[in-house]
Structures are given as C-alpha cells and as structure tokens.
C-alpha cells in the first residue's frame, strides 16, 4: 500500500465531501429540524444535476442553471409535502412516491438518456474534479464549495431566526403545541420539505459539474450519505456547545469525515463494490454510539441523591 496514493486522493475526497455536505445540510432540515423521514432526496439528488447540466448544454449561464436546479428541488419537495399533508400519506411513503416519479421525470429532462456529459474545456463550470489540485485558489473546487457552504449556512441561520423560521423549528419540535399556538404546521412542513430538497438539488447541480456529467442513478443511496454526515457531525461535534450555524457546519464537516474514512478504507483494499455496505455499516455504528455510550459507559447515579448541605 502506497501512502502517497492516499495523500494524493485526500483533496479529492475533501472536495467531494464538501459538496455532499451541502446535500447533508438539506437532509438535516427534514431529519433534525422537521423530524421527518424524507426519502425524496434520492430523486432530487439526480434532478438538480440533470436540470443544471441540460440547461448549460443549451447555453444557459451556470448561475441560472444552478438557480433552476434549486427551483426543481423546491417543486419536488412541494409534491412530497402535498402528498403528506393534504392527502394524509406518511412522510416516508410520500418521499418514496415522489422519488419513484422523479425517475421518469429525470429521464425526460435528460432527453431519454441515462447519462449526459459536459466538458470543462467548453463550458464555464464553477467546480470540477480537475480543479482540486494545481488550480489557482480562486478557482479551486474546495475553495469554491467552501464559499457556497458559508453562504448557505449564513442564509439558513438568518432564516431560521425569523418568525417563519422559528415556527418551522417549533413544528418539528412540538407540532401539538405549535398548533395550539395558532401555527399552521402543514404549511410549515411543506415549506421545510421545499427548502430541504431545494438545497439537495443545488448540491446535485454542483456535483454534476464536479464529476462532468449527470447520471440517472446519481442519487441512489444519497439519503444514506446524508444521514451519515448528520450523525457523524452530531457524534463528533455534539459535545461542543454551539448555535444553529455551528450545527449546520458540523453536518458539512461530518460529510468530509465520511468521505475521508471511505478513502482510507479504499486505500486499505476494500472492494469498491462494497461501498454501499460500508456506508450502511458506518451509519449504523454512528447511530448506535450514543445509545451504547449511555447504556454501558454512563456514570452510575449515586444512591441517596445529592449530599446535604
């Protein structure tokens, strides 16, 4: 095993982790803020890339293409929200139905093809696999995605501090009390799902540029990676007291840690075909750590309560 190969691969793993960190922030909104299990992201992780690449192939500026990808994700989240709130379908099944329908929609967007490539030499891309090493800092993929993450976290920190944002957080925290206070929880759930899937689709647009193509299977297993980033960030940085912005940052850092671990395991000789199995194991382990820690490693409570003064 050549240690230099590992070090050469780490910048690419870091860049990929940052892009998926944006996606994980979207997952965090539904999983932690709204307390909903949303599987739509497996579909919108393809939709955003498909919309972005196809628009750029038709001479659309990259900024507008990413904005359109964000809008497509919002529409997907809106459909999931309607299925859940208006039609009374459980959130997890609503996400599955939307994800299933998006497969055909994504094929339509990509002109019936399972893959659409874009050239870094012919188009003005924001990020690229070729710009991870050796590129000027202002064009480096890691630097560009970091700017995106900082801006997204700043906007979300501001938004969830507004009256509307606080009502969305209250809906996820205690829906019964929120309804008692006159909050329309159904509308808030729809808004949260729209925002979440919009961010996921934005990440998808960046990821499609990074790898140089959009693929119909790009989002397969995306929810596992997103949950892994959320859980890893919570376990590793959960003891650090921080505000909402720090929690979002920890999710992005969790995605980086996830991809660095994947890269190390591949360097150790893991078969790439086993990556999905490894992802499931990583998520299971980090989900179990808080429970096992509390059950087997918590300090026993002394009998008799606190000592008398």
| 34 within a domain of the structure (yes/no) | yes
| 308 within a domain of the structure (yes/no) | no
Q: What is the pLDDT along the chain (309 residues), one digit of tens a residue?
A: 556 666 666 777 788 888 999 999 999 999 889 888 889 999 999 999 999 999 999 989 999 999 999 999 999 999 999 999 999 999 899 999 999 999 999 999 998 888 888 888 788 888 887 777 777 777 888 888 999 999 999 999 999 999 999 999 999 888 888 888 888 989 999 999 999 999 999 999 999 998 888 889 888 888 888 888 888 888 888 777 778 899 999 999 998 888 888 888 777 777 777 777 877 787 788 778 777 877 777 666 555 555 554
| 302 within a domain of the structure (yes/no) | no
Quick one: tokens of 98?
């939307």
Per-residue pLDDT at 5: 61
Per-residue pLDDT at 306: 52
With helix as H, strand as E and coil as C, how does the chain read?
CCHHHHHHHHHHHHHHHHHHHHHHHHHHHHHHHCCCCCCCHHHHHHHHHHHHHHHHHCCCCHHHHHHHHHHHHHHHHHHHHHHHHCCCCCHHHHHHHHHHHHHHHHHHHCCCCCEEECCCCCCCCCCCHHHCCCCCCCCCHHHHHHHHHHHHHHHHHHHCCCHHHHHHHHHHHCHHHHHHCCCCHHHHHHHHHHHHHHHHHHHHHHHHHHHCEEECCCCCCHHHHHHHHHHHHHHHHCCCCCCHHHHHHHHHHHHHHHHHHHHHHHHCCCCHHHHHHHHHHHHHHHHHHHHHHHHHCCCCCCCCCCCCC
Number of domains in the chain: 1
| 277 within a domain of the structure (yes/no) | yes
| 276 within a domain of the structure (yes/no) | yes
| 298 within a domain of the structure (yes/no) | no
Per-residue pLDDT at 309: 47
pTM score of the predicted model: 0.89
| 214 within a domain of the structure (yes/no) | yes
CA 35/CA 92 separation, integer angstroms: 11
Per-residue pLDDT at 277: 81
| 304 within a domain of the structure (yes/no) | no
Beta bridge partners of 215: 115
Angle formed at CA 258 by CA 126 and CA 91, multiple of 5 degrees: 85
Q: Which domain holds residue 14?
A: 3-293
CA 152/CA 27 separation, integer angstroms: 14
């Amino acid at each position: 095993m050549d240690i230099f190969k590992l070090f050469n691969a780490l910048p690419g793993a870091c860049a990929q982790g940052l892009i998926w960190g944006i996606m994980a922030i979207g997952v965090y909104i539904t999983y932690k803020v709204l307390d909903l299990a949303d599987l739509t992201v497996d579909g919108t992780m393809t939709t955003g890339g498909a919309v972005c690449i196809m628009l750029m192939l038709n001479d659309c500026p990259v900024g507008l293409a990413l904005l359109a990808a964000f809008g497509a994700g919002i529409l997907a989240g809106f459909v999931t929200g309607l299925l859940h709130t208006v039609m009374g379908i459980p959130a997890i099944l609503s996400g599955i139905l939307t994800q299933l329908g998006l497969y055909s929609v994504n094929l339509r967007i990509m002109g019936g093809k399972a893959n659409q490539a874009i050239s870094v030499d012919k188009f003005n891309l924001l990020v690229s696999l070729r710009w991870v090493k050796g590129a000027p800092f202002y064009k480096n993929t890691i630097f560009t995605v970091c700017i995106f993450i900082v801006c997204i976290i700043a906007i979300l920190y501001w938004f969830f501090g507004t009256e509307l944002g606080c009502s969305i957080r209250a809906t996820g925290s205690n829906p019964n009390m929120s309804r008692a206070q006159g909050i329309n929880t159904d509308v808030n759930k729809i808004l949260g799902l729209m925002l979440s899937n919009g961010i996921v689709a934005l990440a998808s647009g960046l990821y499609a540029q990074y790898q140089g193509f959009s693929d119909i299977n790009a989002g397969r297993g995306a929810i596992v990676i997103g949950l892994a980033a959320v859980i890893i960030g919570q376990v590793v940085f959960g003891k650090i007291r921080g505000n909402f912005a720090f929690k979002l940052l920890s999710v992005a850092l969790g995605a980086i840690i996830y991809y660095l671990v994947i890269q190390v395991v591949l360097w150790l000789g893991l078969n790439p075909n086993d990556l999905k199995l490894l992802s499931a194991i990583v998520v299971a382990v980090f989900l179990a750590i808080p429970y096992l820690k509390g059950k087997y490693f918590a300090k026993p409570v002394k009998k008799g309560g606190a000592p008398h003064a």
